[in-house]
Amino acid sequence: MSTELPEIPANTNPAEILRIGIAAANGPVSLACSFSLEDVAIIDIAQKAGVAIGVFAIDTGRLNEETYEVADALLERYRLKIDWYFPRHEDVEQLERTEGLFSFRESLDKRHTCCGIRKVEPLSRALKELKGWVTGMRREQSVTRGDLKTVEQDELNNGILKINPLIDWSERQLMDYARENSIPTNRLYKQGYRSIGCAPCTRSIGPWDHVRDGRWWWENAENKECGLHRR
């Protein structure tokens, strides 16, 4: 499937990026929500701008309690419908029976296997009926995201459009937006977390560290993707 990519001028605001991307997708579009500051900001921006998008989430089975609290707060504040997707239980059972509970720390291949089961496969089901998906990715987050486009074609998921409305936002812009608009915020941010994923793969870091240093801290920076955003 090939869709003509829209031209989006520099400094286009996130709400307009959403509008342009959704129009180009010409079909159902949903936000992949991990309940990060980025994703909650996008929900808030879309609601205030009257931009209708769906919301789906992947429950890997290893999320923090604080992450579920944000999901509950979003339901209360925005009256959302969140479509939840889960790993196939037989695949998780097989993985843990044969490899143990922390095999993902043994090698990059084993970590990719775990992410593949818990994240990538559920994502493929979530995207199956969509024409586009929205992410909270930002260029400054890691070396693997420096060449992101505002709207791009996701060749790994049947060529559907991938819309990244916060692509040029800095961490400071994001924090300011969260404070000024009092959006629901994961309590772990106040404990030194700056990027939050599965509990065993995420830890707090210092303000001097890179924003993604707390994710898979035993790996090199160029490997710090879970497979949802392979390029």
Q: What is the pLDDT of residues 156-174, one digit of tens each?
A: 898 999 999 999 999 999 9
- All structural domains of the chain, each given as residue ranges with its CATH number in brackets, are 14-191 (3.40.50.620)
Q: Which residues are the active-site residues?
A: 226
54-58 vs 29-32, strand pairing mode: parallel
pLDDT at residue 197 is higher than 70: yes
50-54 mean pLDDT? 96
Nearest residue to 124 via CA among 153, 150, 85, 82: 85
**For residue 123, which of 150, 158, 147 has the smallest C-alpha distance?**
158
**What local confidence, expressed as pLDDT, does residue 142 receive?**
57
Q: Among candidates 44, 11, 63, which has minimal Cα distance to 193?
A: 63
pLDDT at 146: 56
pLDDT score at 147: 72
On the question of pLDDT at 2 being above 80, the answer is no
pLDDT exceeds 90 at position 150 = yes
pLDDT tier for residue 51 given thresholds of 50, 70 and 90: very high
Distance between CA 25 and CA 129 in Å, rounded?
Answer: 12
Q: What is the mean pLDDT of residues 93-101?
A: 97
Sign of CA dihedral 133, 136, 142, 143: positive
